[in-house]
Every structure is written in structure tokens, then in C-alpha cells.
């Protein structure tokens, strides 16, 4: 299906997700690497108000030195509550935003293509699927125009007849029919619209697909359809995915590895199996306890009191310490770094969990 050439140095030892969906334990070559990226937004009041009220500028650190690798063909899940910066990380990776600090690179690609603001997005190699299928599709365009636009913009196919053929193939690949090409977005249900979004994202043959809460606006039955479709598409096209969601169960379902974010920082990064079987960071444990699970009926939720603090006034030290039952003096003063629990050689091992918590590294909690 894909006409894109393989990365020569990757093809030999790139682990392919097996048919059972289980992660291969071999280390993967990273497709994209984020090194200590931060994003600071200026949310100050207008200049005149600041002068009159004598208030300083206000800066919001939405993403605070996040480092991560996503291996070729891997799906990295990113979970957290609203305002934790997970969507901003996604937007940084597809170059919708430029990082304030740090850098994002694509190690498999030539140097010339690694300059910031370069042609990745223009060539359609980076694609994104958004949360709201009602807002992300132009209501005046037919599905054919929506899905065909990336093909025309990137001049992947010039012949109009062939474009039509390609669009129909893409629509059929996401479970729609050729007749749907001439429908407008309002004629589709929410789940079908999200299928159109997926077809549009696939049209330019991306290498990295960022899915930002792609099923949050959908009903459960449509959600199941779209999640199954995304998994199939990811396997067929050997896509590298960043899957952003607030729903732990959804992330568990599609990801190979999962990062948990809290107030702009990754607090835990582990394989999906490890994260859900033995969560280490107190925040991850709290999130997992808070999920109403159909199987856990009768077990009272051990809800941790409190809420996510105002991101403009993040607590010093570990940002989670005001809500953490294990916090001590060190947690209040010193920011914990994201460190692997056991370092296995120098290479990033898929099964090694990293945690940013003093209590875990001091073995105060198991």
C-alpha cells in the first residue's frame, strides 16, 4: 500500500508489532526524539492593564522539559488530566507549535530535513487527528475534497482520475464507501466523520500520526469502531503514533508504551503492561484508582482529595506533592527527574519504566 521507502538503517532490526498486538521487546530505533522540550505561553493581560494594575507578565509553562522517543512503528500513549500539557506535546511534535526550549529531531532522516520549521509538515509526513470531528472538517467541502486535499497540495498524484481512485481507496480503507465521497460532513455521524479525518490523515502517507483525543467526542460503540480501525490502520501502514487521551482504558487499548503527564511533566513512562500491572508513581496509582471500572463494582474508589493546581502557580519541588500521601521535605523542595528504575545497558529498553518520584527512587514506596 505504502509507496514510501523504508529507512535503510531501520528496516533490519525494527520490531514489528506482532499480530497479537503485543509489543516486541527489542529496542526500536526512534523515529522522533524530543530532547527536554518546553513550551511557554505568554498569558499576560494586555499591556495597558498591566501598566495600570502594576502586574508583571504571566508565563504559563504548558510543557516543562519533556524528553521522549517514539520508536518506528510504535504507539506511545500520553495520558493526564485537562491542562497537563499532553495536547501541547502533540502539537509540538507535528510542528503546529515551536518549542520554547529543547529540540525535536527525526534521527532516521537526513540532516537537511532536521532544521526547525522545515518541510516535515509541508510534505505531509506529520499528520494529526483532532478531537472534535465537527470542527476539524470543513462543512462546505465534500468528503472527496477533504480527503483529496493533501494529495493535491503535496502533488502526490496529478491526474484527477487517479486522485478520485486514491480517495475512494482511502475511504474504503477506513470502512466508508465510494458513494460517501460526495457527501458533506453533516451527512455523516460522529464516528463516520472521524473515519473521514483518519482517511485525510493517511492521504499524504505520513510517518508520524498524532491522535489528540480522537474518540472523546464519540459514543462508546463508535469509539470501539474507531479504536479498532486506528489499530488496524497503524499496523497496515506501519505508522508511528502518539495517542493522546484522558481515558486510561482507551490508552491501554491502543498503546505499546504509555507516558503519564502532570502539570507539564512526564511523571511515569512505561510499557503498557507494566504501567497497568504495577504503576509506580503515586499520581498514576491515583488515576488508576479513580477510573470507574465495570469489574471493580463494590470496591470503593480511593479518591485522592484535591484538584490539579493552577498551572500559573505550580507548587515548588514535585508538582504533585500537595496531593501526595508520601510527600516529605525533599519532595517539597526538589524537582524529581524522570529516571529509569533499572538501567539495562545503555539502550532504551521497551520494558524499563521511568518514574519521576523521590519516594519511588528512595524505595519509600514499593
Residues contributing to the site for other proteins (CB under 8 A): 20-21, 81-82, 189-192, 219-225, 227-228, 231-232, 246-250, 252-253, 272, 276, 286-295, 297, 301, 303-305, 307-308
Least distance CB 239 / other proteins (angstroms): 16
Least distance CB 41 / other proteins (angstroms): 19
Least distance CB 184 / other proteins (angstroms): 16
Residue with smaller CB distance to other proteins, 21 or 325: 21
Distance of CA 181 to the CA centre of its chain: 29
Least distance CB 287 / other proteins (angstroms): 6
User: How, if at all, do strands 257-262 and 265-271 pair?
Assistant: antiparallel
Q: Which helix (H) or strand (E) holds 274?
A: helix 272-277
Burial of 34 (0-12, 13-18, 19+ CB in 10 A): buried
Least distance CB 108 / other proteins (angstroms): 28
**Which residue pairs from 232-236 have beta carbons closer than 8 angstroms and sit at least 24 positions apart in sequence?**
233/173, 233/174, 233/198, 233/202, 234/17, 234/75, 234/209, 235/17, 236/1, 236/173
Least distance CB 81 / other proteins (angstroms): 4
Residue with smaller CB distance to other proteins, 146 or 226: 226
Residue with smaller CB distance to other proteins, 49 or 228: 228
Q: What is the rounded distance in angstroms from the CA atom of residue 305 to the CA atom of residue 290?
A: 11
Q: What is the rounded distance in angstroms from the CA atom of residue 105 to the CA atom of residue 68?
A: 11
Q: What is the rounded distance in angstroms from the CA atom of residue 248 to the CA atom of residue 238?
A: 24
Residue with smaller CB distance to other proteins, 110 or 294: 294
Question: What is the per-residue DSSP string for 221-257?
Answer: HHHHHHHHHHHHHHHHHT-EEEEEES-HHHHHHH-SE
Residue with smaller CB distance to other proteins, 125 or 281: 281
Residue with smaller CB distance to other proteins, 53 or 307: 307
Amino acid at each position: 500500500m505504502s509507496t514510501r521507502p523504508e529507512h535503510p538503517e531501520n528496516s533490519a532490526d525494527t520490531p514489528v508489532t506482532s499480530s497479537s498486538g503485543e509489543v516486541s521487546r527489542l529496542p526500536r530505533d526512534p523515529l522522533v526524539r524530543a530532547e527536554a522540550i518546553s513550551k511557554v505561553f505568554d498569558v499576560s493581560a494586555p499591556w495597558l492593564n498591566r501598566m495600570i494594575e502594576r502586574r508583571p507578565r504571566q508565563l504559563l509553562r504548558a510543557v516543562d522539559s519533556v524528553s521522549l522517543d517514539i520508536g518506528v512503528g510504535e504507539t506511545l500513549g500520553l495520558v493526564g488530566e485537562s491542562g497537563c500539557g499532553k495536547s501541547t506535546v502533540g502539537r509540538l511534535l507535528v510542528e503546529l507549535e515551536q518549542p520554547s526550549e529543547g529540540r525535536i529531531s527525526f534521527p532516521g532522516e537526513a540532516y537537511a530535513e532536521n532544521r526547525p520549521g522545515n518541510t516535515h509538515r509541508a510534505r505531509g509526513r506529520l499528520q494529526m487527528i483532532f478531537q472534535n470531528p465537527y470542527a476539524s472538517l470543513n462543512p462546505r467541502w465534500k468528503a472527496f475534497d477533504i480527503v483529496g486535499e493533501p494529495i493535491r497540495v503535496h502533488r502526490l498524484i496529478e491526474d484527477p482520475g487517479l486522485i478520485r481512485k486514491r480517495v475512494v481507496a482511502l475511504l474504503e480503507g477506513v470502512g466508508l464507501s465510494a458513494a460517501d465521497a460526495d457527501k458533506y460532513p453533516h451527512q455523516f455521524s460522529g464516528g463516520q466523520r472521524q473515519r473521514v479525518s483518519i482517511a485525510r490523515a493517511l492521504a499524504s502517507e505520513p510517518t508520524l500520526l498524532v491522535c489528540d483525543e480522537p474518540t472523546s467526542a464519540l459514543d462508546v460503540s463508535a469509539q470501539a469502531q474507531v479504536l479498532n480501525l486506528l489499530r488496524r490502520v497503524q499496523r497496515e501502514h506501519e505508522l508511528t503514533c502518539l495517542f493522546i487521551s484522558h481515558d486510561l482504558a482507551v490508552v491501554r487499548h491502543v498503546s505499546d508504551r504509555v507516558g503519564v503527564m502532570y502539570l507539564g511533566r512526564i511523571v511515569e513512562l512505561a510499557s503498557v503492561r507494566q504501567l497497568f500491572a504495577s504503576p509506580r508513581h503515586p499520581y498514576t496509582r491515583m488515576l488508576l484508582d479513580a477510573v470507574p471500572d465495570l469489574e471493580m463494582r463494590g470496591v470503593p474508589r480511593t479518591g485522592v482529595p484535591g484538584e490539579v493546581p493552577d498551572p500559573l502557580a505550580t507548587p515548588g519541588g514535585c508538582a504533585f506533592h500537595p496531593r501526595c500521601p508520601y510527600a516529605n521535605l525533599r519532595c517539597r523542595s526538589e524537582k524529581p527527574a524522570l529516571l529509569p528504575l533499572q538501567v539495562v545497558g545503555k539502550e532504551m529498553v521497551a520494558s524499563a519504566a521511568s518514574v519521576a518520584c523521590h519516594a519511588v527512587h528512595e524505595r519509600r514506596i514499593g
